[in-house]
Amino acid sequence: MHDDSLNRGVLMSQVVDSWMLGRARVHRIEEWCGPFLTPHLLFAGFDADAYAACKAAVPPEYLDAASDALLARLQSWVIELDGVRVLIDTGAGNDKVRPGIPLFGGLQTPFLERLASAGFEPEGIDLVVCTHLHVDHVGWNTRWVDDRWQPTFPRARYVFPQADAEYWDPQRAELYPQKIGAAVNEGFFDDSVRPILDAGLAELVAGPHELLPGLRLDPAPGHTPGSTVITLESAGEHALFVGDVVHHPLQVFNPDWNSIFCEDATQARQTRRAVLERAADLGAVLVPAHFAGQHRTRVQRTATGLRPVGLDGVGL
Q: Per-residue pLDDT averaged across 71-83, rounded?
A: 98
Phi-psi region for residue 124, left (φ > 0), alpha (ψ -120 to 50) or beta?
alpha
Query: Does 210 fall in a domain?
Result: yes
Q: Per-residue pLDDT averaged across 99-109, rounded?
A: 97
Q: Is the pLDDT of residue 15 over 50?
A: yes
Q: Per-residue pLDDT averaged across 99-123, rounded?
A: 97
The single-letter DSSP state of residue 297 is B
Q: Per-residue pLDDT averaged across 80-84, rounded?
A: 98
pLDDT above 90 as % of the chain: 95
Cα 83 from chain centroid?
Answer: 24
Q: Is the pLDDT of residue 87 over 90?
A: yes
Query: Does 96 fall in a domain?
Result: yes
In tens, the pLDDT along 201-256 reads 999 999 999 999 999 999 999 999 999 999 999 999 999 999 999 999 999 999 99
Read off the CATH number of the domain in which 31 is found.
3.60.15.10
> What pLDDT score does 14 carry?
85
Domain that holds residue 173: 3-309
- Side by side, the strands of the sheet bearing 228-234 are 209-212, 215-219, 228-234, 237-243, 285-288
Evaluate whether 63 touches 71 at the Cβ level (below 8 Å): yes
Query: Does 240 fall in a domain?
Result: yes
Query: Does 205 fall in a domain?
Result: yes
Q: Per-residue pLDDT averaged across 253-262, rounded?
A: 98
Q: Per-residue pLDDT averaged across 72-77, rounded?
A: 98
pLDDT above 70 as % of the chain: 96
The single-letter DSSP state of residue 8 is H
Q: Is the pLDDT of residue 13 over 60?
A: no
Alpha-carbon gap, residue 109 to 105, rounded angstroms:
11
Q: Is the dihedral of CA 27, 33, 39, 45 positive or negative?
A: negative
> What's this model's pTM, rounded to 2 decimal places?
0.95
Q: Is the pLDDT of residue 11 over 70?
A: no
Query: Does 43 fall in a domain?
Result: yes
Q: Is the pLDDT of residue 4 over 50?
A: no
Min mean pLDDT across 7-11, 136-140, 310-314 is at 7-11
In tens, the pLDDT along 21-65 reads 999 999 999 999 999 999 999 999 999 999 999 999 999 999 999
Query: Does 316 fall in a domain?
Result: no
Alpha-carbon gap, residue 291 to 25, rounded angstroms:
19
Query: Does 36 fall in a domain?
Result: yes
Q: Per-residue pLDDT averaged across 58-78, rounded?
A: 97
Q: Is the pLDDT of residue 315 over 90?
A: no
Question: Average pLDDT over the chain, rounded to whole?
Answer: 95
User: Structurally, how many domains does the chain consist of?
Assistant: 1
In tens, the pLDDT along 229-240 reads 999 999 999 999
Query: Does 315 fall in a domain?
Result: no
Interior/surface letters 112-147, b for 16+ CB within 10 angstroms, e for the rest: bebbeebebebeebebbbbbbbbbbbbbbbbbeeee
Task: Please give the residue that has the higher pLDDT: either 198 or 11.
Answer: 198
In tens, the pLDDT along 147-204 reads 999 999 999 999 999 999 999 999 999 999 999 999 999 999 999 999 999 999 999 9
